[in-house]
A and B are shown apart, each in its own frame.
Chain A
Amino acid sequence: MALTARRAVAIAWPGLLLGLFLATFRPSADGSPGAAASPPCEDDAPLGDLAGLERCLALDPEDVVLMTELGAAYESSGRADLAEGVYRRALAIDPRDGEVHVRLGRLLLARGDRAAAKTEGEAALRWQPGAEAAGALVAAAAGMPQ
């Protein structure tokens, strides 16, 4: 009887330990990506409010699309200086964004800086050849009738 129990233990312990090794080989999935969801900043729907845009931009400070939205929101709320700062940040990251060049150019034109506005319009045209908005900006900056 004692011998049988010993044999059972001899068979069981490596099997049990093997089970422990296999069970703990893969890490727990709790920390794996996608296990929890709170995606408002990753949503494609416009965030709408300034605070939400600022919060999301703080999470991903190089998101040019968010910067463009934030700049537009600043413009809508009459804070052109903040909008200009955001557009300039966006262009520092992606100098090929024609839309931001045009938006910044319009701000500069409204402020009376025609030369700078024209430069922005021309920069937009480099990436969007023939684009009407950029062409109109250049024309307006040059004082031509539209």
Chain B
Amino acid sequence: MTGVREWPGGAVALCRVVNALLCLAVAAYGVLSYSPFAYGMFIKPDVVPALSDFTALSPWLFLVALLLTTLSLMPQLRGAAGRDWAWAYVAAGTGAAVWLFAVRPLSTIGNTPRALALAMAALVPPVWLAAIDHRAHRQTGVVATDRARLAAVALVTAVSGWLLYALQAPLRLEQAVGIDLPPRAFAIGVGSALVLDLFVFSALALALLALAAVASSAARPGVVEYWLLVALLAVCASLTLMLLICEAIGVPGIAGWLASTAMGTASAAVWADVARLRGSRPPIDGPPVDALEMFCAPVAGVRSRAAALTAAVVVVPLSYALVSAASHFDWNFLLQKLSVLLVWLAAFALAGAATRRVAARPAWFVAIAVAFVAYHGLRWFERQPQEGAGFTARAALDRYAALDPSFHLIRDAQAARSAETAEYYAFLQANTLVAPRSVQTPSTPFVDGFAPKVVRRPDIYLFVVDSLRRDYLSPYNAGVTFTPAIARLAADSHVFDRAFTRYSGTALAVPSIWAGGMVIHAIEQPDFGRRNALLDLLAADGYQQIIDVDNVVEDLIPRDRDRIQLDRGRTTMQFDVCTTVAELEQRVTENAGRRPIFFYQLPQNVHIAIASRRKVPDGETYPGFFAPVASAIRRVDGCLGGFVDFLKRTNRYDDSIIILTSDHGDSLGEEGRWGHAYFIVPEVMRIPLIVHLPSWMRASTTADTAAVAFSTDLTPSLYALLGHEPRDRGSLFGRSLFVRPGADLSWRRRARFLLASSYGAVYASLRQNGRRMYVIDAVDGRDDLFEMDGAASVPGRQLEVTRETAAAGRGFIREGVDAIAELYRYRSPVRADAAGPQ
């Protein structure tokens, strides 16, 4: 007797869950910080302010969790079983809290190996507590689960999981953009989802039966079976974390497996801890608790109808809310897929609580056989042409996958890879997100020496609006009514109709603009000064730089006292074109009559993380557009228009090159996609490109505004316009958009170009004057072909990939990737010649 009243098991379990969530969040933050890509793209530029708040609050959160945990450990601290471990935990926790307040490690770890170490350390407390609770709460009398019950629970989970998401699909269809899914195609999708769910959970049923069979040989089969279930959870969680998350955020190899295994194991330990706390006092009457019931206890309790009912009621809206909440900020459906796995786990636990007695034993095994046959029937059906339907079965399933995240998850896992394809993927992955220390940056000047300065050097204003889509601007889409100022500027400018970015993310798109060509695939560009052709030009022609130094550009340009830096004190995500142009106008006025000006900014107004947080003003409506982004663009339009008016007012307009473009576009609900992750799709790769030239420059040049153009062409274009004829450095580099009137303009339409994701092994070849884009995605394991023509409001549509297209596209991409490696003297661990014949 300790003399201390013990807390109810549920209350202690709640404390453990709170503590575990905090520790897992810290571990996840550590892994994100360790990933150069996630650190550079999310943490450093403060894309998600909640992350910064979390780092600031983390010591306090830890203190609260420690306090709660200490209170819940009072019986052990007063002498119950587990006393020593409990005291050690409280002592170590107190020390950790002091350290957290003194060092604030989450704010200081940065992108270093310490981040991974911190992640590992953060997982110790929940595992430690699980050990204490297992010592303190003995479990007896767990029996083996009836085999038919195991099969039944898996299959009931399949049907309930399918129902959950299939019923939500019509709602998502209403909200989605660009998903043409006739009723027949929808029905095919719903039916296929059921078959896939049944197949996957039949496999789970077989795994459970195999574990039960192994456990049956043990002296205490029920206990062994239970622990095998926990081990299966740990393995599944680890594999999920590795394959779904670590590979997607660029933490592959040993570090990835270490992080995934540790987090998967810790999650399973927490699950077992909560199961022990909630299931340690089984009812005295009734049949004994079996291993499956014990395993399901964290969600459904043990023999608690109220708990099971509450959980069931919560899971339905939760499954919808999780997907909806995550979709706008998701990283290639990653969070949505994770939420599906959590919902499946909850549904499994609830099915375990709901199917305690199972009759008709053979029927469940027949159902497994039927699932197998149905799955292979579906595969056959998918290959059949749908006569007169206007769509292929594959297209119908691809579109349905955008509405049903559980179907999406299974379908992605299904992606087939031939041996050649696997080798080819390995080749792409070996050339993606490479370590900066493994490359030698070449010097790639566009000119051998700068010609004497031209008499008139215009001011240059380069606005690269992050995530700005072309079809949200009226010069590209007649349906847009909210960009009148940009329309006026365009009327007096070259509007390049088929402009593309070479990279689908800021991290490489911005360096490629400054370099005037493709760069090595590394988030941190080593020794970039050797390739910074734009900076060389500005220096040679004596430009006064007025720059918003964002988190990407700050790594590309050396510090320069002569440079005027705008928006000091603001983080990258706070760069707002409206506040910047006010400051810019002042600087331009102060500079009157001195050196020509070069201005650069990467405003974030339109970025989905910013635009979505901003309230659309009352009275503004944008039918056919995503209102938060359209409203943000309206604001950008007003401020840009005001700046152009300032230039006109002060007689600078006809002495200025004004460039409006973006680093990449954005997905705004197309086929369920949001934002710009590592996928390459038309709405992300197509960009606006509007270039206003002084009239005296326009008179002496020509350009093919309907030919394919790239943001990498901007730097060589500025060279040409300022009288430094840039050399043709090959297809990986940009070429001037503006040429002498007699020059050949046709080559752009005939050439094929390499495009790439900034964040993953996804590459594309662009041909037919930017009309056809073949994409190979080594992350999701798929090939896609897009046609980009037709209505201005439709960024592109998907076509069937033929073997011929894939072979030619892969061959071209391999040559391009190899050429970049050659340029940077990067020795890829997987050479192109080892990648087989594609």
B805 within 8 A of A: yes
Q: A18-B206, A34-B421 are in contact. Are A64 and B769 (CB under 8 A)?
A: yes
- Can you name the residue of chain A whose Cβ is closest to the Cβ of B704? A128
Please indicate the chain A residues that have their CB under 8 angstroms from the CB of B586 in the complex.
none
Residue pair B749, A18 in contact (C-beta under 8 Å): no
Q: Give which listed residue, B379, B419, B702, B803, contacts A131 with CB less than 8 A.
A: B702
Residue pair A132, B801 in contact (C-beta under 8 Å): no
B811 within 8 A of A: yes
Residue pair A127, B837 in contact (C-beta under 8 Å): no
Q: A10-B216, A97-B749, A129-B702 are in contact. Are A30 and B768 (CB under 8 A)?
A: no
A98 CA / B707 CA spacing, docked (Å): 9
A37 within 8 A of B: yes
Return A125 CB to nearest CB of chain B, in Å: 9
Please indicate the chain B residues that have their CB under 8 angstroms from the CB of A10 in the complex.
213, 216
A26 CA / B422 CA spacing, docked (Å): 14
Q: Give which listed residue, B209, B372, B418, contacts A14 with CB less than 8 A.
A: B209
Please indicate the chain A residues that have their CB under 8 angstroms from the CB of B808 in the complex.
39, 42-43
- CB proximity to B under 8 Å, residues A49-72: 63-65, 68
- CB proximity to A under 8 Å, residues B733-760: 741-742, 745-746, 749-752
A26 CA / B196 CA spacing, docked (Å): 12
Residue pair A131, B421 in contact (C-beta under 8 Å): no
Selecting from B10-18, B124-132, B409-417, B454-462, the interface stretch reads B409-417
A144 within 8 A of B: no
Please indicate the chain A residues that have their CB under 8 angstroms from the CB of B420 in the complex.
34-35
- CB proximity to A under 8 Å, residues B664-698: 698
Q: Give which listed residue, B206, B207, B803, B809, contacts A38 with CB less than 8 A.
A: B803
B167 within 8 A of A: no
Please indicate the chain A residues that have their CB under 8 angstroms from the CB of B160 in the complex.
none
Residue pair B199, A25 in contact (C-beta under 8 Å): yes
Chain B 767-791 interface mask (CB, 8 Å, partner A; 1/0): 1110100000000000100000100
- Can you name the residue of chain A whose Cβ is closest to the Cβ of B702? A130
Residue pair B213, A11 in contact (C-beta under 8 Å): yes
Residue pair B206, A14 in contact (C-beta under 8 Å): yes
Residue pair A127, B704 in contact (C-beta under 8 Å): yes
- Can you name the residue of chain A whose Cβ is closest to the Cβ of B740? A132
A28 within 8 A of B: yes
Q: A36-B807, A128-B704, A130-B701 are in contact. Are A21 and B418 (CB under 8 A)?
A: no
Q: A18-B203, A25-B203, A131-B704 are in contact. Are A37 and B421 (CB under 8 A)?
A: no
Q: A10-B213, A22-B203, A65-B768 are in contact. Are A30 and B701 (CB under 8 A)?
A: no
B341 within 8 A of A: no
Residue pair A15, B706 in contact (C-beta under 8 Å): no
Please indicate the chain A residues that have their CB under 8 angstroms from the CB of B415 in the complex.
26
Please indicate the chain B residues that have their CB under 8 angstroms from the CB of A31 in the complex.
383
A145 CA / B19 CA spacing, docked (Å): 86
Residue pair B210, A132 in contact (C-beta under 8 Å): no
Residue pair A39, B745 in contact (C-beta under 8 Å): no
B802 within 8 A of A: yes
B810 within 8 A of A: yes
A39 CA / B444 CA spacing, docked (Å): 33
Q: Give which listed residue, A28, A34, A94, contacts B806 with CB less than 8 A.
A: A34
A97 CA / B749 CA spacing, docked (Å): 9
Residue pair B206, A21 in contact (C-beta under 8 Å): yes
A32 within 8 A of B: yes
A132 CA / B740 CA spacing, docked (Å): 9
Residue pair A96, B741 in contact (C-beta under 8 Å): no
B217 within 8 A of A: yes
Total B residues in contact with A, Cβ cutoff 8 Å: 66
B202 within 8 A of A: yes
- Can you name the residue of chain A whose Cβ is closest to the Cβ of B376? A24
Return A2 CB to nearest CB of chain B, in Å: 16
Residue pair A129, B703 in contact (C-beta under 8 Å): yes
Please indicate the chain A residues that have their CB under 8 angstroms from the CB of B751 in the complex.
44
Please indicate the chain A residues that have their CB under 8 angstroms from the CB of B413 in the complex.
25
A7 within 8 A of B: yes
Residue pair B704, A98 in contact (C-beta under 8 Å): yes
Q: A7-B216, A10-B216, A34-B838 are in contact. Are A131 and B771 (CB under 8 A)?
A: no
A27 within 8 A of B: yes
Return A23 CB to nearest CB of chain B, in Å: 11
B618 within 8 A of A: no
| A contact residues, range | 35 or more
Residue pair B803, A130 in contact (C-beta under 8 Å): no
A143 within 8 A of B: no
- CB proximity to B under 8 Å, residues A77-98: 93-94, 96-98
A105 within 8 A of B: no
- Can you name the residue of chain B whose Cβ is closest to the Cβ of A36? B803
A73 within 8 A of B: no
Residue pair B210, A34 in contact (C-beta under 8 Å): no
A41 CA / B809 CA spacing, docked (Å): 12
Residue pair B702, A132 in contact (C-beta under 8 Å): yes
Please indicate the chain B residues that have their CB under 8 angstroms from the CB of A27 in the complex.
379, 414, 416
A34 CA / B751 CA spacing, docked (Å): 22
- Can you name the residue of chain B whose Cβ is closest to the Cβ of A99? B746
Return A22 CB to nearest CB of chain B, in Å: 7
- Can you name the residue of chain B whose Cβ is closest to the Cβ of A133? B742
Residue pair B203, A21 in contact (C-beta under 8 Å): yes
A68 CA / B216 CA spacing, docked (Å): 74
A121 within 8 A of B: no
A65 CA / B768 CA spacing, docked (Å): 6
Return A55 CB to nearest CB of chain B, in Å: 12
Residue pair B803, A18 in contact (C-beta under 8 Å): no
Residue pair A37, B749 in contact (C-beta under 8 Å): no
Q: Give which listed residue, B414, B418, B805, B812, contacts A35 with CB less than 8 A.
A: B418
A2 CA / B767 CA spacing, docked (Å): 69
A119 CA / B586 CA spacing, docked (Å): 47
A33 within 8 A of B: yes
B705 within 8 A of A: yes
Residue pair A127, B206 in contact (C-beta under 8 Å): no
Please indicate the chain B residues that have their CB under 8 angstroms from the CB of A41 in the complex.
804
Residue pair A131, B838 in contact (C-beta under 8 Å): no
Q: A27-B379, A34-B421, A128-B703 are in contact. Are A39 and B202 (CB under 8 A)?
A: no
- Can you name the residue of chain A whose Cβ is closest to the Cβ of B811? A39
A15 CA / B228 CA spacing, docked (Å): 14
A29 within 8 A of B: yes
Return B720 CB to nearest CB of chain A, in Å: 14
- Can you name the residue of chain A whose Cβ is closest to the Cβ of B200? A25
B655 within 8 A of A: no
A98 CA / B783 CA spacing, docked (Å): 32
- Can you name the residue of chain A whose Cβ is closest to the Cβ of B838? A34
Residue pair B416, A33 in contact (C-beta under 8 Å): no
Please indicate the chain A residues that have their CB under 8 angstroms from the CB of B811 in the complex.
37, 39
- Can you name the residue of chain B whose Cβ is closest to the Cβ of A125? B702
Most buried by B among A7, A14, A33, A131: A33
Residue pair A34, B810 in contact (C-beta under 8 Å): yes
A17 within 8 A of B: yes
- CB proximity to A under 8 Å, residues B408-465: 413-421, 424
- CB proximity to A under 8 Å, residues B28-79: none
A15 CA / B702 CA spacing, docked (Å): 70
Please indicate the chain A residues that have their CB under 8 angstroms from the CB of B424 in the complex.
34
Please indicate the chain B residues that have their CB under 8 angstroms from the CB of A64 in the complex.
749, 768-769, 771
* A–B pairs, 18, beta carbons within 8 Å: A11-B214, A24-B375, A27-B379, A29-B418, A32-B417, A34-B807, A38-B804, A39-B811, A93-B789, A96-B497, A98-B707, A98-B745, A127-B705, A128-B704, A128-B706, A129-B698, A131-B702, A131-B745
Q: A14-B210, A32-B416, A38-B807 are in contact. List 4 more A-B contacts (CB 8 A).
A: A14-B209, A26-B416, A65-B769, A96-B706
- A-side residues, CB < 8 A to B, are 7, 10-11, 14-15, 17-18, 20-22, 24-39, 41-44, 63-65, 68, 93-94, 96-99, 127-133, 135
Q: Report, nearest first, the 5 A-B pairs whose CB atoms are least far apart.
A: A42-B808, A29-B418, A96-B706, A33-B806, A37-B807
- B-side residues, CB < 8 A to A, are 199, 202-203, 206-207, 209-210, 213-214, 216-217, 368, 372, 375-376, 379, 383, 413-421, 424, 494, 497, 698-699, 701-707, 741-742, 745-746, 749-752, 767-769, 771, 783, 789, 801-812, 837-838
